[in-house]
Structure 1
Amino acid sequence: MHGNPGPDHSIAGGPLGQIRSGLIVSCQPVVDGPLDRPDIVAALALAALDGGAAGLRIEGLANLRAVRAVTEAPIIGLIKRDMEGYAPRITPTLEDVDGLIAEGADIVAVDATDLTRPVPVADLIAAILSAGRIAMADCATLEDAVAARDAGAQVTGSTMSGYTGGPIPDAPDLDLVRGMAGLGGFVIAEGRYHRPEQAADALRAGADAVVVGSAITRPEHVTGWFAGAMRKARG
Protein backbone atom coordinates (compact mmCIF):
# COMPACT_ATOMS: atom_id res chain seq x y z
CA MET A 1 0.00 0.00 0.00
CA HIS A 2 1.07 3.58 -0.66
CA GLY A 3 0.79 6.35 1.92
CA ASN A 4 0.88 6.41 5.69
CA PRO A 5 -1.57 4.66 8.00
CA GLY A 6 -3.39 7.01 10.31
CA PRO A 7 -6.26 5.81 12.49
CA ASP A 8 -6.21 9.10 14.40
CA HIS A 9 -8.82 11.40 12.84
CA SER A 10 -7.98 14.43 14.99
CA ILE A 11 -6.85 17.61 13.28
CA ALA A 12 -3.43 17.61 14.94
CA GLY A 13 -2.34 14.05 14.38
CA GLY A 14 -4.66 12.58 11.77
CA PRO A 15 -5.28 13.14 8.08
CA LEU A 16 -5.07 16.92 8.30
CA GLY A 17 -1.64 16.68 9.82
CA GLN A 18 -0.58 14.42 6.95
CA ILE A 19 -1.80 16.78 4.21
CA ARG A 20 -0.76 20.08 5.84
CA SER A 21 1.30 22.17 3.40
CA GLY A 22 0.83 19.43 0.82
CA LEU A 23 -0.69 18.76 -2.57
CA ILE A 24 -3.99 16.94 -2.80
CA VAL A 25 -4.70 15.44 -6.22
CA SER A 26 -8.31 15.23 -7.33
CA CYS A 27 -8.63 12.03 -9.36
CA GLN A 28 -11.94 12.73 -11.07
CA PRO A 29 -11.84 11.69 -14.74
CA VAL A 30 -14.09 13.29 -17.32
CA VAL A 31 -17.48 11.58 -16.87
CA ASP A 32 -17.92 8.77 -19.42
CA GLY A 33 -14.43 9.50 -20.78
CA PRO A 34 -11.86 6.77 -21.48
CA LEU A 35 -10.35 7.06 -17.98
CA ASP A 36 -13.69 6.90 -16.14
CA ARG A 37 -13.20 3.48 -14.51
CA PRO A 38 -12.51 2.65 -10.86
CA ASP A 39 -9.35 0.69 -11.66
CA ILE A 40 -7.98 3.61 -13.68
CA VAL A 41 -8.90 6.07 -10.92
CA ALA A 42 -6.96 3.89 -8.49
CA ALA A 43 -3.97 3.90 -10.85
CA LEU A 44 -4.15 7.69 -11.19
CA ALA A 45 -4.22 7.95 -7.39
CA LEU A 46 -1.13 5.77 -6.98
CA ALA A 47 0.70 7.72 -9.67
CA ALA A 48 -0.16 10.98 -7.90
CA LEU A 49 1.14 9.64 -4.60
CA ASP A 50 4.32 8.45 -6.29
CA GLY A 51 4.76 11.98 -7.62
CA GLY A 52 4.57 13.53 -4.16
CA ALA A 53 0.89 14.07 -3.45
CA ALA A 54 0.04 14.10 0.24
CA GLY A 55 -3.60 13.17 -0.22
CA LEU A 56 -6.39 12.50 -2.69
CA ARG A 57 -9.85 13.79 -3.54
CA ILE A 58 -12.06 11.00 -4.91
CA GLU A 59 -15.62 11.16 -6.23
CA GLY A 60 -18.06 8.27 -6.17
CA LEU A 61 -18.38 5.17 -4.01
CA ALA A 62 -16.96 2.72 -6.56
CA ASN A 63 -13.92 4.92 -7.15
CA LEU A 64 -13.42 5.47 -3.42
CA ARG A 65 -13.62 1.74 -2.78
CA ALA A 66 -11.02 1.04 -5.46
CA VAL A 67 -8.64 3.71 -4.19
CA ARG A 68 -9.00 2.82 -0.52
CA ALA A 69 -8.10 -0.78 -1.39
CA VAL A 70 -4.65 0.28 -2.60
CA THR A 71 -3.65 3.12 -0.25
CA GLU A 72 -3.97 4.38 3.30
CA ALA A 73 -3.20 7.97 2.25
CA PRO A 74 -5.75 10.58 3.37
CA ILE A 75 -8.79 10.70 1.10
CA ILE A 76 -11.36 13.45 0.72
CA GLY A 77 -14.49 11.65 -0.43
CA LEU A 78 -17.48 13.14 -2.19
CA ILE A 79 -20.43 12.16 -4.34
CA LYS A 80 -21.69 14.29 -7.20
CA ARG A 81 -25.41 13.94 -7.66
CA ASP A 82 -27.91 15.90 -9.73
CA MET A 83 -31.24 16.25 -7.92
CA GLU A 84 -34.28 17.81 -9.52
CA GLY A 85 -35.16 21.10 -7.85
CA TYR A 86 -31.84 21.46 -6.05
CA ALA A 87 -28.61 23.13 -7.14
CA PRO A 88 -25.91 21.58 -4.89
CA ARG A 89 -24.25 18.51 -6.42
CA ILE A 90 -21.52 17.64 -3.93
CA THR A 91 -22.65 15.13 -1.28
CA PRO A 92 -26.15 16.59 -0.93
CA THR A 93 -27.78 13.85 1.18
CA LEU A 94 -27.23 12.04 4.46
CA GLU A 95 -27.19 8.75 2.55
CA ASP A 96 -24.25 10.06 0.55
CA VAL A 97 -22.42 10.95 3.75
CA ASP A 98 -23.06 7.47 5.18
CA GLY A 99 -21.84 5.79 2.00
CA LEU A 100 -18.60 7.75 1.89
CA ILE A 101 -17.88 7.00 5.53
CA ALA A 102 -18.59 3.29 5.00
CA GLU A 103 -16.13 3.19 2.10
CA GLY A 104 -13.33 4.73 4.13
CA ALA A 105 -13.22 8.45 3.40
CA ASP A 106 -11.15 10.26 6.02
CA ILE A 107 -12.61 13.64 5.09
CA VAL A 108 -16.10 14.09 3.65
CA ALA A 109 -16.69 17.09 1.41
CA VAL A 110 -20.11 18.73 1.12
CA ASP A 111 -21.38 21.69 -0.88
CA ALA A 112 -21.67 24.45 1.72
CA THR A 113 -23.14 27.18 -0.48
CA ASP A 114 -26.43 28.91 0.33
CA LEU A 115 -28.22 27.38 -2.66
CA THR A 116 -31.50 25.49 -2.20
CA ARG A 117 -30.70 21.98 -0.98
CA PRO A 118 -32.45 18.80 0.22
CA VAL A 119 -30.59 18.67 3.56
CA PRO A 120 -29.23 21.63 5.57
CA VAL A 121 -25.44 22.00 5.54
CA ALA A 122 -25.39 21.85 9.36
CA ASP A 123 -27.09 18.44 9.31
CA LEU A 124 -24.58 17.04 6.84
CA ILE A 125 -21.68 18.33 8.93
CA ALA A 126 -23.21 16.92 12.12
CA ALA A 127 -23.52 13.48 10.52
CA ILE A 128 -19.87 13.54 9.46
CA LEU A 129 -18.69 14.61 12.90
CA SER A 130 -20.84 12.06 14.68
CA ALA A 131 -19.08 9.34 12.71
CA GLY A 132 -15.70 10.61 13.85
CA ARG A 133 -14.67 11.88 10.43
CA ILE A 134 -13.56 15.30 9.24
CA ALA A 135 -16.05 17.63 7.56
CA MET A 136 -14.90 19.74 4.61
CA ALA A 137 -17.15 22.60 3.49
CA ASP A 138 -16.85 23.39 -0.22
CA CYS A 139 -17.53 27.14 -0.24
CA ALA A 140 -18.20 29.84 -2.82
CA THR A 141 -18.01 32.86 -0.52
CA LEU A 142 -16.57 33.90 2.80
CA GLU A 143 -20.11 33.90 4.21
CA ASP A 144 -20.39 30.21 3.29
CA ALA A 145 -17.17 29.54 5.17
CA VAL A 146 -18.33 31.43 8.27
CA ALA A 147 -21.59 29.48 8.39
CA ALA A 148 -19.81 26.16 7.87
CA ARG A 149 -17.28 26.90 10.60
CA ASP A 150 -20.13 27.84 12.95
CA ALA A 151 -21.74 24.46 12.12
CA GLY A 152 -18.55 22.63 13.10
CA ALA A 153 -16.70 22.05 9.83
CA GLN A 154 -12.99 21.64 10.52
CA VAL A 155 -12.05 22.35 6.90
CA THR A 156 -13.16 25.08 4.53
CA GLY A 157 -12.34 24.99 0.84
CA SER A 158 -12.59 27.51 -1.98
CA THR A 159 -13.93 24.75 -4.22
CA MET A 160 -17.18 26.40 -5.30
CA SER A 161 -15.88 29.91 -5.96
CA GLY A 162 -16.94 30.92 -9.46
CA TYR A 163 -19.33 27.99 -9.91
CA THR A 164 -22.59 29.28 -8.47
CA GLY A 165 -23.67 31.54 -11.35
CA GLY A 166 -22.26 33.86 -13.97
CA PRO A 167 -19.11 33.40 -16.04
CA ILE A 168 -16.46 31.11 -14.60
CA PRO A 169 -13.19 32.98 -13.94
CA ASP A 170 -9.91 31.76 -15.37
CA ALA A 171 -7.82 32.25 -12.23
CA PRO A 172 -8.08 30.78 -8.72
CA ASP A 173 -9.80 32.84 -6.03
CA LEU A 174 -6.88 33.77 -3.80
CA ASP A 175 -8.91 36.50 -2.10
CA LEU A 176 -11.32 33.87 -0.78
CA VAL A 177 -8.39 31.76 0.41
CA ARG A 178 -7.02 34.75 2.32
CA GLY A 179 -10.40 35.44 3.85
CA MET A 180 -10.90 31.86 4.96
CA ALA A 181 -7.40 31.76 6.42
CA GLY A 182 -8.40 34.72 8.56
CA LEU A 183 -11.25 32.69 10.04
CA GLY A 184 -8.95 30.02 11.38
CA GLY A 185 -9.31 26.29 10.98
CA PHE A 186 -7.84 24.27 8.12
CA VAL A 187 -8.11 25.90 4.68
CA ILE A 188 -7.87 24.05 1.38
CA ALA A 189 -7.44 26.02 -1.82
CA GLU A 190 -9.25 24.43 -4.75
CA GLY A 191 -10.56 25.51 -8.12
CA ARG A 192 -8.66 26.35 -11.32
CA TYR A 193 -5.16 25.66 -9.99
CA HIS A 194 -3.56 24.80 -13.33
CA ARG A 195 0.08 25.74 -12.79
CA PRO A 196 2.59 24.95 -10.01
CA GLU A 197 3.15 28.62 -9.23
CA GLN A 198 -0.57 29.06 -8.57
CA ALA A 199 -0.45 26.31 -5.94
CA ALA A 200 2.54 28.02 -4.35
CA ASP A 201 0.65 31.32 -4.37
CA ALA A 202 -2.21 29.64 -2.50
CA LEU A 203 0.11 28.55 0.30
CA ARG A 204 1.46 32.06 0.54
CA ALA A 205 -2.14 33.32 0.74
CA GLY A 206 -2.73 31.18 3.82
CA ALA A 207 -3.95 27.84 2.49
CA ASP A 208 -2.99 24.77 4.50
CA ALA A 209 -3.17 22.53 1.43
CA VAL A 210 -4.03 22.80 -2.26
CA VAL A 211 -6.20 20.58 -4.46
CA VAL A 212 -5.23 20.20 -8.12
CA GLY A 213 -7.41 18.17 -10.45
CA SER A 214 -7.72 18.79 -14.18
CA ALA A 215 -4.09 19.78 -14.71
CA ILE A 216 -2.98 16.37 -13.41
CA THR A 217 -5.76 13.83 -13.99
CA ARG A 218 -7.77 15.10 -16.95
CA PRO A 219 -5.57 14.82 -20.05
CA GLU A 220 -8.55 15.80 -22.19
CA HIS A 221 -8.54 19.24 -20.58
CA VAL A 222 -4.78 19.69 -20.66
CA THR A 223 -4.65 18.61 -24.31
CA GLY A 224 -7.35 21.14 -25.06
CA TRP A 225 -5.34 23.93 -23.43
CA PHE A 226 -2.34 23.19 -25.63
CA ALA A 227 -4.38 22.65 -28.78
CA GLY A 228 -6.34 25.87 -28.18
CA ALA A 229 -3.20 27.93 -27.69
CA MET A 230 -1.73 26.54 -30.89
CA ARG A 231 -4.90 27.32 -32.84
CA LYS A 232 -4.66 30.92 -31.67
CA ALA A 233 -1.01 31.06 -32.70
CA ARG A 234 -1.91 29.84 -36.18
CA GLY A 235 -4.50 32.60 -36.45
Structure 2
Amino acid sequence: MRSREEIMEAIRGKVVVSCQALPDEPLHSSYIMGRMAYAVSLAGAQGIRANSVEDIQEIKKTVDLPIIGIIKKVYGDNPVFITPTMAEIDALAQEGVDIIALDATKRVRPDGTTIETLFPEVRAKYPQQLFMADCSTFEEAKTAAELGFDFVGTTLAGYTAYTQDRPLPDLALMQEIVEKISTPLIAEGGISTPEELREVMKLGVFSAVVGSAITRPLEIAKRFIAAVQ
Protein backbone atom coordinates (compact mmCIF):
# COMPACT_ATOMS: atom_id res chain seq x y z
CA MET A 1 0.00 0.00 0.00
CA ARG A 2 1.21 3.49 -0.85
CA SER A 3 1.41 6.05 1.91
CA ARG A 4 -0.62 9.23 1.82
CA GLU A 5 2.51 11.20 0.93
CA GLU A 6 3.46 8.81 -1.87
CA ILE A 7 0.02 9.05 -3.44
CA MET A 8 -0.03 12.83 -3.30
CA GLU A 9 3.47 13.21 -4.70
CA ALA A 10 2.69 10.78 -7.53
CA ILE A 11 -0.12 12.92 -8.93
CA ARG A 12 1.04 16.41 -7.92
CA GLY A 13 1.16 18.52 -11.09
CA LYS A 14 0.37 15.46 -13.20
CA VAL A 15 -2.42 14.16 -15.42
CA VAL A 16 -4.84 11.48 -14.26
CA VAL A 17 -6.78 9.72 -17.00
CA SER A 18 -10.31 8.47 -16.43
CA CYS A 19 -10.80 4.97 -17.85
CA GLN A 20 -14.51 4.24 -17.68
CA ALA A 21 -17.20 2.68 -19.84
CA LEU A 22 -20.81 2.31 -18.76
CA PRO A 23 -22.92 -0.79 -19.54
CA ASP A 24 -24.52 0.80 -22.61
CA GLU A 25 -21.16 1.76 -24.17
CA PRO A 26 -19.24 -0.38 -26.72
CA LEU A 27 -16.08 -0.62 -24.60
CA HIS A 28 -17.84 -1.77 -21.43
CA SER A 29 -15.44 -4.44 -20.19
CA SER A 30 -13.07 -4.66 -17.24
CA TYR A 31 -10.48 -6.24 -19.51
CA ILE A 32 -10.72 -3.36 -22.00
CA MET A 33 -10.44 -0.78 -19.21
CA GLY A 34 -7.32 -2.57 -18.01
CA ARG A 35 -5.76 -2.28 -21.46
CA MET A 36 -6.91 1.33 -21.71
CA ALA A 37 -5.16 2.10 -18.43
CA TYR A 38 -2.02 0.40 -19.71
CA ALA A 39 -2.12 2.47 -22.90
CA VAL A 40 -2.45 5.80 -21.10
CA SER A 41 0.28 4.80 -18.65
CA LEU A 42 2.63 4.33 -21.60
CA ALA A 43 1.69 7.85 -22.69
CA GLY A 44 2.72 9.22 -19.30
CA ALA A 45 -0.47 9.34 -17.23
CA GLN A 46 0.42 9.29 -13.54
CA GLY A 47 -2.94 8.19 -12.17
CA ILE A 48 -6.17 6.48 -13.21
CA ARG A 49 -9.78 7.25 -12.32
CA ALA A 50 -11.91 4.13 -12.57
CA ASN A 51 -15.47 2.97 -11.94
CA SER A 52 -16.35 -0.31 -10.16
CA VAL A 53 -14.37 -2.78 -8.11
CA GLU A 54 -14.16 -5.13 -11.10
CA ASP A 55 -12.54 -2.52 -13.34
CA ILE A 56 -10.18 -1.43 -10.58
CA GLN A 57 -9.03 -5.00 -9.97
CA GLU A 58 -8.30 -5.46 -13.67
CA ILE A 59 -6.52 -2.12 -13.93
CA LYS A 60 -4.29 -3.06 -10.99
CA LYS A 61 -3.10 -6.05 -13.02
CA THR A 62 -1.80 -3.80 -15.78
CA VAL A 63 -0.49 -0.63 -14.11
CA ASP A 64 1.02 0.38 -10.80
CA LEU A 65 -0.42 3.87 -10.56
CA PRO A 66 -2.56 5.63 -7.94
CA ILE A 67 -6.24 5.00 -8.58
CA ILE A 68 -9.13 7.35 -7.89
CA GLY A 69 -11.96 4.89 -7.45
CA ILE A 70 -15.68 5.42 -7.76
CA ILE A 71 -18.75 3.26 -8.01
CA LYS A 72 -21.52 4.64 -10.18
CA LYS A 73 -24.83 3.30 -8.92
CA VAL A 74 -28.29 4.67 -9.64
CA TYR A 75 -30.92 4.40 -6.93
CA GLY A 76 -34.33 5.04 -8.46
CA ASP A 77 -34.67 8.61 -9.67
CA ASN A 78 -32.15 10.08 -7.23
CA PRO A 79 -29.62 12.25 -9.10
CA VAL A 80 -26.67 11.32 -6.85
CA PHE A 81 -24.95 8.31 -8.42
CA ILE A 82 -21.18 8.69 -7.91
CA THR A 83 -20.35 6.58 -4.84
CA PRO A 84 -23.70 7.59 -3.35
CA THR A 85 -23.89 5.59 -0.10
CA MET A 86 -21.73 3.99 2.56
CA ALA A 87 -22.14 0.63 0.80
CA GLU A 88 -20.13 1.82 -2.22
CA ILE A 89 -17.54 3.49 0.00
CA ASP A 90 -17.12 0.25 1.95
CA ALA A 91 -16.58 -1.73 -1.26
CA LEU A 92 -13.90 0.68 -2.52
CA ALA A 93 -12.16 0.83 0.85
CA GLN A 94 -12.07 -2.96 1.08
CA GLU A 95 -10.52 -3.07 -2.40
CA GLY A 96 -7.74 -0.76 -1.21
CA VAL A 97 -8.33 2.12 -3.59
CA ASP A 98 -5.81 4.93 -3.17
CA ILE A 99 -8.37 7.74 -3.35
CA ILE A 100 -12.13 7.30 -3.05
CA ALA A 101 -14.19 9.94 -4.88
CA LEU A 102 -17.82 10.62 -4.12
CA ASP A 103 -20.53 13.08 -5.00
CA ALA A 104 -20.15 15.99 -2.60
CA THR A 105 -22.89 18.22 -4.01
CA LYS A 106 -25.60 19.74 -1.85
CA ARG A 107 -28.19 17.27 -3.16
CA VAL A 108 -29.95 14.78 -0.90
CA ARG A 109 -28.53 11.29 -1.36
CA PRO A 110 -30.44 8.05 -2.01
CA ASP A 111 -30.32 7.10 1.68
CA GLY A 112 -31.73 10.47 2.72
CA THR A 113 -28.43 11.86 3.98
CA THR A 114 -26.53 14.93 2.79
CA ILE A 115 -22.78 15.17 2.42
CA GLU A 116 -22.69 17.11 5.72
CA THR A 117 -24.25 14.19 7.58
CA LEU A 118 -22.63 11.33 5.67
CA PHE A 119 -19.00 12.37 5.44
CA PRO A 120 -18.28 12.72 9.18
CA GLU A 121 -19.37 9.07 9.52
CA VAL A 122 -17.19 8.10 6.56
CA ARG A 123 -14.15 9.89 7.97
CA ALA A 124 -14.63 8.32 11.39
CA LYS A 125 -14.85 4.86 9.81
CA TYR A 126 -11.87 5.34 7.49
CA PRO A 127 -9.54 7.89 9.13
CA GLN A 128 -6.50 7.01 6.97
CA GLN A 129 -8.27 6.86 3.62
CA LEU A 130 -7.85 9.67 1.07
CA PHE A 131 -11.14 11.11 -0.18
CA MET A 132 -11.97 13.35 -3.15
CA ALA A 133 -15.10 15.51 -3.21
CA ASP A 134 -16.82 15.69 -6.61
CA CYS A 135 -18.39 19.16 -6.56
CA SER A 136 -20.25 21.45 -8.94
CA THR A 137 -19.97 24.86 -7.24
CA PHE A 138 -17.56 26.87 -5.12
CA GLU A 139 -19.87 26.61 -2.12
CA GLU A 140 -19.86 22.82 -2.37
CA ALA A 141 -16.07 22.75 -2.60
CA LYS A 142 -15.82 25.03 0.43
CA THR A 143 -18.15 22.78 2.42
CA ALA A 144 -16.17 19.70 1.38
CA ALA A 145 -12.93 21.31 2.48
CA GLU A 146 -14.44 22.22 5.83
CA LEU A 147 -15.67 18.63 6.25
CA GLY A 148 -12.12 17.37 5.85
CA PHE A 149 -11.94 15.98 2.33
CA ASP A 150 -8.35 15.49 1.17
CA PHE A 151 -9.08 16.79 -2.34
CA VAL A 152 -11.86 18.81 -3.94
CA GLY A 153 -12.79 18.35 -7.57
CA THR A 154 -14.83 20.22 -10.16
CA THR A 155 -16.09 16.93 -11.56
CA LEU A 156 -19.79 17.79 -11.45
CA ALA A 157 -19.68 21.40 -12.63
CA GLY A 158 -22.12 21.58 -15.52
CA TYR A 159 -23.74 18.29 -14.58
CA THR A 160 -26.08 19.33 -11.76
CA ALA A 161 -29.43 20.94 -12.54
CA TYR A 162 -28.25 24.24 -11.08
CA THR A 163 -24.96 24.40 -13.04
CA GLN A 164 -26.02 23.26 -16.50
CA ASP A 165 -25.32 26.69 -17.98
CA ARG A 166 -21.66 26.69 -16.91
CA PRO A 167 -19.02 26.59 -19.66
CA LEU A 168 -16.68 23.61 -19.56
CA PRO A 169 -13.99 23.34 -18.48
CA ASP A 170 -15.10 25.75 -15.76
CA LEU A 171 -11.91 27.76 -15.50
CA ALA A 172 -13.52 30.47 -13.39
CA LEU A 173 -14.62 27.93 -10.80
CA MET A 174 -11.22 26.27 -10.78
CA GLN A 175 -9.46 29.60 -10.30
CA GLU A 176 -11.76 30.62 -7.44
CA ILE A 177 -11.14 27.33 -5.64
CA VAL A 178 -7.37 27.60 -6.08
CA GLU A 179 -7.37 31.16 -4.76
CA LYS A 180 -9.74 30.72 -1.82
CA ILE A 181 -9.52 27.09 -0.67
CA SER A 182 -6.34 25.49 0.64
CA THR A 183 -7.49 21.91 0.01
CA PRO A 184 -5.80 20.58 -3.16
CA LEU A 185 -7.94 20.88 -6.28
CA ILE A 186 -8.11 18.02 -8.76
CA ALA A 187 -9.52 19.77 -11.82
CA GLU A 188 -11.97 17.65 -13.78
CA GLY A 189 -14.84 18.08 -16.19
CA GLY A 190 -14.92 18.98 -19.85
CA ILE A 191 -11.17 19.17 -20.50
CA SER A 192 -11.30 18.28 -24.18
CA THR A 193 -8.02 19.41 -25.74
CA PRO A 194 -4.33 19.67 -24.81
CA GLU A 195 -4.69 23.43 -25.02
CA GLU A 196 -7.52 23.42 -22.45
CA LEU A 197 -5.47 21.17 -20.19
CA ARG A 198 -2.56 23.59 -20.40
CA GLU A 199 -4.85 26.48 -19.38
CA VAL A 200 -6.19 24.45 -16.46
CA MET A 201 -2.73 23.58 -15.17
CA LYS A 202 -1.65 27.24 -15.40
CA LEU A 203 -4.26 28.03 -12.73
CA GLY A 204 -2.18 26.19 -10.14
CA VAL A 205 -4.43 23.17 -9.67
CA PHE A 206 -2.96 20.20 -7.83
CA SER A 207 -3.75 17.73 -10.61
CA ALA A 208 -6.15 17.30 -13.52
CA VAL A 209 -8.34 14.46 -14.77
CA VAL A 210 -9.00 13.97 -18.47
CA GLY A 211 -11.49 11.33 -19.52
CA SER A 212 -13.81 11.39 -22.52
CA ALA A 213 -11.35 13.21 -24.78
CA ILE A 214 -8.92 10.29 -24.42
CA THR A 215 -10.77 7.11 -23.50
CA ARG A 216 -14.26 7.28 -25.04
CA PRO A 217 -13.88 6.67 -28.77
CA LEU A 218 -17.63 6.76 -29.40
CA GLU A 219 -17.83 10.34 -28.09
CA ILE A 220 -14.61 11.33 -29.85
CA ALA A 221 -15.85 9.97 -33.17
CA LYS A 222 -19.19 11.77 -32.79
CA ARG A 223 -17.36 15.12 -32.60
CA PHE A 224 -15.49 14.46 -35.82
CA ILE A 225 -18.56 13.18 -37.68
CA ALA A 226 -20.65 16.14 -36.53
CA ALA A 227 -17.99 18.51 -37.84
CA VAL A 228 -18.64 17.46 -41.44
CA GLN A 229 -22.37 16.94 -41.39
| Pair in the same fold by TM > 0.5 | yes
TM-score, length basis structure 2: 0.91
Aligned equivalent of 1:72: 64
Q: Which runs of 5+ in 1 are unaligned?
A: 1-5
1:174 maps to 2:171: yes
Alignment counterpart, residue 45 of structure 1, candidates 37, 44, 49: 37
1:143 maps to 2:139: yes
Aligned equivalent of 1:227: 225
Paired residues for 1:65-214 under 5 Å: 65-117=57-109, 118=111, 119-122=113-116, 123-124=118-119, 126-127=121-122, 130-131=125-126, 132-165=128-161, 167=164, 169=166, 171-182=168-179, 183-214=181-212
Deviation track 1:21-69 (CA, whole Å, cap 9, x = no partner) reads 1110000124332210001000000111110101000011111111123
Aligned equivalent of 1:3: none
Identity %: 33
Alpha-carbon spacing, 1:170–1:179, altered in 2? closer, same or farther (3 Å) = closer
CA distance in 2, matches of 1:224, 1:184: 38
CA distance in 2, matches of 1:218, 1:83: 25
Indicate if the aligned counterparts of 2:17 and 2:40 stay in contact, CA closer than 8 A: yes
Which amino acid in 1 is paired with 2:213?
A
Alpha-carbon spacing, 1:27–1:128, altered in 2? closer, same or farther (3 Å) = farther
Offset of residue 205 of structure 1: 1.5
1:28 maps to 2:50: no
TM-score, length basis structure 1: 0.89
Residue correspondences, number: 223
CA distance in 1, matches of 2:12, 2:108: 32
Offset of residue 171 of structure 1: 2.6
CA distance in 2, matches of 1:125, 1:25: 29
Q: State the SS of the aligned residue for 2:79.
A: coil
Which amino acid in 2 is paired with 1:17?
E
Q: Which runs of 5+ in 2 are unaligned?
A: none
CA distance in 1, matches of 2:43, 2:144: 32
Which amino acid in 1 is paired with 2:168?
A
Alpha-carbon spacing, 1:7–1:171, altered in 2? closer, same or farther (3 Å) = closer
Offset of residue 174 of structure 1: 0.7
Q: State the SS of the aligned residue for 2:208.
A: strand
Q: State the SS of the aligned residue for 2:101.
A: strand
Q: State the SS of the aligned residue for 2:108.
A: coil
Which amino acid in 1 is paired with 2:214?
I
Q: Which runs of 4+ in 1 moved over 6 A?
A: none
Offset of residue 181 of structure 1: 0.9
